[in-house]
C-alpha cells in the first residue's frame, strides 16, 4: 500500500532544499569524474559480462585508460558512453557486422 503525504513548506525552506539538491548533484558529479573503475566494477555498473565490455572497448564504444595490463574506466565517461550507445546499438552490432561481411 502506497501512502502519499503532502507537506506545506515556507518558501525559505523550499529554497534551502533546492540548494541542498543542487549541491548534492555537484558532489555526485565530482565523485563520478574522479572515480576510476576496474573491468569487473565497470561490468557490475553496466550489468554486462566481461566479454561484452571488452568487445565494446575493442569496438571503440567505451573510453578507457590503460597502464600496462591494467584497464580502468572513468565512471562518468562510462555512463555517458553507455547512454550514448544504448543497448539497442550494442545488441545490433553483431547483426550489422554480419551484414557488412556478406555484402563483400
State phi, psi for 66 to the nearest 5 degrees: -125, 130
- Into which CATH architecture does domain 35-102 fall? Orthogonal Bundle (1.10)
pLDDT at 4 over 60: yes
Would you state the cell numbers that stand for residue 53, as one nine-digit string?
A: 565490455
For the stretch 23-77, pLDDT in tens is 988 888 777 667 899 999 999 999 999 999 999 999 999 999 998 999 999 988 9
pLDDT at 81 over 70: yes
Read off the pLDDT of each residue in 6-28 and give the average, rounded to a whole number. Answer: 89
Would you state the cell numbers that stand for residue 102, as one nine-digit string?
A: 556478406
Instruction: Name the pTM for this structure.
Output: 0.54
The pLDDT score that the predictor gives to residue 6 is 83
In sequence order, the 6+-apart residues with CB closer than 8 A to the CB of 43 are: 49, 50, 52, 53
Please report, for the chain, the start and end positions of each structural domain, with discontinuous segments joined by +: 35-102
Amino acid at each position: 500500500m502506497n501512502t502519499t503525504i503532502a507537506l506545506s513548506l515556507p518558501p525559505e525552506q523550499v529554497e534551502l532544499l533546492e540548494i541542498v539538491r543542487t549541491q548534492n548533484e555537484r558532489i555526485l558529479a565530482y565523485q563520478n569524474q574522479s572515480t576510476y573503475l576496474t573491468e569487473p566494477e565497470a561490468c557490475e555498473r553496466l550489468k554486462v559480462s566481461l566479454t561484452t565490455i571488452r568487445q565494446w572497448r575493442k569496438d571503440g564504444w567505451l573510453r578507457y585508460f590503460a597502464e600496462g595490463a591494467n584497464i580502468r574506466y572513468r565512471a562518468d565517461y562510462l555512463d555517458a558512453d553507455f547512454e550514448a550507445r544504448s543497448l539497442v546499438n550494442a545488441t545490433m552490432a553483431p547483426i550489422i557486422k554480419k551484414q557488412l561481411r556478406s555484402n563483400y
